[in-house]
Amino acid sequence: MNGIRVGKRVIGTQAPVTVGWENIPKVVGGPVKLFVFTWFQPVMLFAMIAFWYYAPNSIAKASTAVSIGIGFKVLLLALEWVNPRYASWRLTWKELVTDLFYVGLGFTLLRMVSHYIGSDVMAKAIEHHFHQDDFRWFTGLPLLVQALLIALIFDFGQYWMHRGMHNWYPLWLPHSVHHYITQLNINKGAVGNPVELFLIGLGIGGFFDFLPRAVLISGAFGLAIGTYQHINVRFNSPRWWRFLFNTTEHHSLHHSQDFESTRSNFAGTFIFIDRIFGTCIDGEAELLGMEGGRRMSIREQMTHPFTHGWRALKERFGQRMAVSAE
Amino acid sequence: MNLRFIDWIWHVRDSLALAPGQSSDEAFDRLDPLFRQTGTRYQRTHDTLIFSKKDQAAQDKMSVFDAGLLQIDKNVGGPVLRYQLTSKALLFCFLASPLFLGIAQFTVFVSHFEKPTPAEEKKPADMPMNPIDKALGAPEPDKSKKEDKDDDKKLTPRAAYIFSGIFAILYVVGRILEDRLIKARFKKCLLSAE
C-alpha cells in the first residue's frame, strides 16, 4: 500500500484509511433521515446544556446526570440499528455482553477503587486544602464560561495523558488493550484493561467538584460530544462541528489497523487541541484493531499489560545481566 | 460430578434433518464457509467435523462458539446433522450475574467500614452569581448542606445489583437467541438451493 501523505507523515501504508471530508460517505435516505442525522448532534448538545443551565437545584445532581447518560446511550444504541456506519461493526450479542461487562466494572469495582485511592480522594484533598472563597474569581464567571473552561482544561489533560500513553511504553501497556477493539459501538469506550480505566478516571474533574452546576454543564460537553468517539452511526456532522469537536471519523482513524494513523486524534472532546499540536487527521477507517484485527478475549485483556510488561522487563534486564556476566 | 446436568449452560445441542439423499461430504461442503474464518481450525472425517476457534472475529457468524462437534447420522427417515457446540461467552455471561452479586455484597461489606463524614468545619461560602446568569434566569446557587450533595458519592451496591440482573437477562436472551441463530444458519447453508 502506498499510503497518503498528510503533512510530514504518510498514513495508510499498513491498512486502508480514508482521508479528507470530501471522501467520506454521506447519510443516504429521505429528507427526514437527512435532517435527523445532520442536526441530531448539535440539537442534543444544546438541549443538554440548556437542561443543566436551567434545572432546579433539586434535580441538578450527579445521579440525574448518570440517569441521563444511560438514557442517552440507549437512544444511541437504537440509532446504531437505524443508521449504521458499517455493517462490519454491527453489535452482536457477544460484543454487547463484553462491552457491558466493562461498563459494569466501571460502575462498581472501579468506582470503589476511585473512592479510596483515585479521583474522589484527590477531590477531597483539594476541598480540604482550599476554601470556596479562594475560587470566587472563578465562581463569579458566567456559568457557561466556567463549564467551558472546566471542559477545556480537563480535555487538555486527557489529550496529554492519551498522547503519553501512545509514546511511553509503561503507559502504552495498559492502553494497548483498548486498541484491540475491532469495531466501534456505543459502549466500546469502556473496554480496556482496568488499570487504564483507573488512570483515565484520574482526570482533573475532581478539582472542580465544588462547582456542581458548572461541572454538570461541562459533563454535557463530554456526553454530547465525546460519546460519538465510539459509535456505529453515520452522521452528516456540520462542518463547524467537525472542525471543533472529535467525531467517530476522527476516532476510527485513531483505532485503525494502520500504525501511523493511530498516532493521531488524541483529544477526547475538542479535536482543535489536536489541530493546535499538529496531530489531527480528518478522515476515517473501517478496519480497526491491532495484529491485523485480532479480537482479544476478556481473559487476555485482563492479563495483557502484566504478561507483556513482565516479558519486556525480562528482555531488558535479562540482556543486561547477560552482558555484564560476559 | 456429572457435568451433563449443568453443561447446557454453555453447550448448545440440537439436530437438523438434511435434504433426502444429501451425502455427508455434500453437507460439510455447504457448511465449509462457516469454518473458513480467522482463528478457526477444523478437521473433517467422513461423517464428523470437529472445530475449535481462538480469538474469533466479532463478525464471525459463529463467534459465540469456541469448539464443537458436528456429526451426520444416517437414520431410517433420512440423514440428520447432530451438533454439539461449546460457548465460553455463554458461560461467562451466566457467571457474570453471580459475580456482580458478589461485588454487591463486597460493597455492602466495605461500606460498613466507612467512617461517618465529620461535620463540615468550614462555613459554606456565599456562592456569587454572575449578572449574566441572573439575567438569563439560571437558578440561584445551591446553599443546602454539603451532606445532601455527598449522597451521590456514597458507596452503594445498587449498580452491582442492576448489572447482576442485566447479565441474568442477557444470558437468557443469548442462550435462546444464539441457539436459534446457529440452527437457522446451518439450515440456510444446508437446505438453500445452490
- Write down the pLDDT at residue A132: 66
Q: What confidence score (pLDDT) does residue B101 get?
A: 98
Q: Share the mean pLDDT of chain B.
A: 88
Q: Which of A293, A301, A300, A267 is nearest to A89 (CA)?
A: A293
Looking at residues B94-109, what average pLDDT do you find?
96
**Cross-chain residue pair A132–B124, CB shorter than 8 Å:** yes
Task: Quick: pLDDT tens for B107-155.
Answer: 999 988 877 666 555 555 667 889 999 999 999 887 765 555 556 667 8
CA distance B94 to B62: 19
Q: What band does B8 get if pLDDT is binned at 50, 70 and 90?
A: very high
Task: Answer whether B153's CB lies under 8 Å from A120's CB.
Answer: yes
Say what the pLDDT of residue B148 is: 53
- Which 8-state DSSP code applies to residue A237? -
Inter-chain residue contact B149 with A140, CB threshold 8 Å: no
Burial of A263 (0-12, 13-18, 19+ CB in 10 A): middle
Give the pLDDT confidence score for residue A137 in this predicted structure. Answer: 84
In this predicted model, which residue has the larger pLDDT, B128 or B190? B190
Q: Using a CB–CB cutoff of 8 Å, tell me whether A104 touches chain B.
A: yes
- pLDDT tens-digit map of B38-81: 999 999 998 999 999 999 999 999 999 999 999 999 888 889 99
* ipTM (interface pTM): 0.90
CB contact under 8 A, B39 and A115: no
Q: Which of A94, A100, A108 sits opposite B64 (nearest CB)?
A: A94
Regions of chain A with pLDDT less than 70? 118-124, 126-132, 202-210, 320-326
Nearest to A112 among B93, B110, B138 (CB): B110
- In SS3 terms, A27-68 reads as CCCCHHHHHHHHHHHHHHHHHHHHHHHHCCCCCCCHHHHHHH
Q: What angle do CA A103, A232, A61 make, to 5 degrees?
A: 45
**What's the whole-model pTM score?**
0.91
Confidence (pLDDT) at B92: 97
Structure confidence at residue A326 (pLDDT): 60
Q: Give residue for cell 445532520.
A: A38
Q: Name residues 79-118 of chain B within 8 A of A (Cβ).
A: 88-89, 92-93, 96, 100, 103-104, 107, 110
User: Chain B contact for A136, CB < 8 A?
Assistant: yes
Q: What is the pLDDT of residues B161-176, one digit of tens each?
A: 999 999 999 999 999 9
Please tell me the predicted confidence (pLDDT) of residue A324.
66
